Amino acid sequence: MEPRENDFAERLLSIFDNVLLTEEMALSKGYFSDLSIAELHTINAIGPYEARTMTETANILGITIGTLTVAVDRLVKKKYVERQRDSKDRRIVRISLTRQGKLAYRMHSKFHRVLAKRIFDPLSEEERRILTNTVEEIDVFVKEQYKKYSTGEQYKKIVRDDTEV
Amino acid sequence: MAESKKKKTENAVSEEMDTSAKAPAREEIYDVVTEMLSELLNMEKSEFSEETMIFEELPLDSLQLYELVVDLEERFDLHISDEAIEKIRSIGDVVDMIHDAANN
């Protein structure tokens, strides 16, 4: 590997590690210190508006209903999520964010926007276009690699993410 | 006392909204926004104006701004985008943001 490629690979991994680390530290020191990163991802998958079914949410996260049930139980206990029975079909349970859950969702998405803004601000329109395309290509490539190792359920999530973009 | 005052205002606002299928008037939005800010910051409504700068003149942190946004979304049954929130500077901007979202 060329020295420049080596440096690039190290930077890429460093960004990945530090974004996660920063998110975790911001969580532990912030208003939502009782939430883990995994719980925040569940909150993000539920979203701030329309109530979702358990199946929809499990599909978005690429996890089983059983795993999601455990996560939602914890979030209900912590008062970030609430369950309601569908008014037309009582067999269907829908989940939605409480006021506290919506606040956690908003604060978490702010972190991502601040990061993107910081990267974009000093760049020209052309540089932003090139960077966006390059990052998209990296994303597609990494997902391709992930597909090779993932289970059927995780694979479905990747395909869905790709079609939603 | 404060609780009954809050309930009275909430009822007044919801009654006004129930009697009209139209988007809320600007004055009505201003009334709700300043009522919510008054609750959040423990200040009097008379201390606010359309020109009050949210971040420079009020002790509002980013969590409280999101509390205001989430409560306004609930009250007026609308969605407020992150881009719209980033443009907020004054109380008048908040009122415009809700007015625009309710009319689109």
**What is the residue-level pLDDT of chain B in tens, covering all 104 positions?**
444 444 444 444 444 444 445 678 888 999 999 999 999 999 999 999 999 999 889 998 888 999 999 999 999 999 998 888 888 999 999 999 999 888 87
Chain B residue at shortest CA distance from A110: B82
Domain positions in chain A are 35-122, 125-165
Active site residue B96: no
Tell me if B63 and A99 make a contact (CB, 8 A cut-off).
no
Length of chain A: 165
Tens of pLDDT along A25-56?
A: 777 777 888 998 889 889 999 999 888 999 89
DSSP-assigned letters across all residues of A9-34:
HHHHHHHHHHHHHHHHHHHHHSTTTT
ipTM for the whole complex: 0.70
* Segments forming the whole domain that contains residue B22: 2-102
Half-sphere exposure of residue A51: CA atoms within 13 angstroms, side-chain side: 14
Which pTM value belongs to this model?
Answer: 0.72
CB B79 within 8 A of CB B101: yes
Chain A residues whose beta carbon lies within 8 Å of the beta carbon of residue B82: 109-110, 113
Residue A51 tokens read as 């109530």
CATH number at residue B33: 1.10.1200.10
Separation CA A149–CA B67 (nearest Å):
42
Domain count, chain B: 1
A146 touching B (Cβ < 8 Å):
no
Domain A35-122 belongs to what topology? Arc Repressor Mutant, subunit A (1.10.10)
C-alpha distance from residue A96 to each of A18, A25, B40, B55, B99 (Å):
30, 26, 24, 31, 26
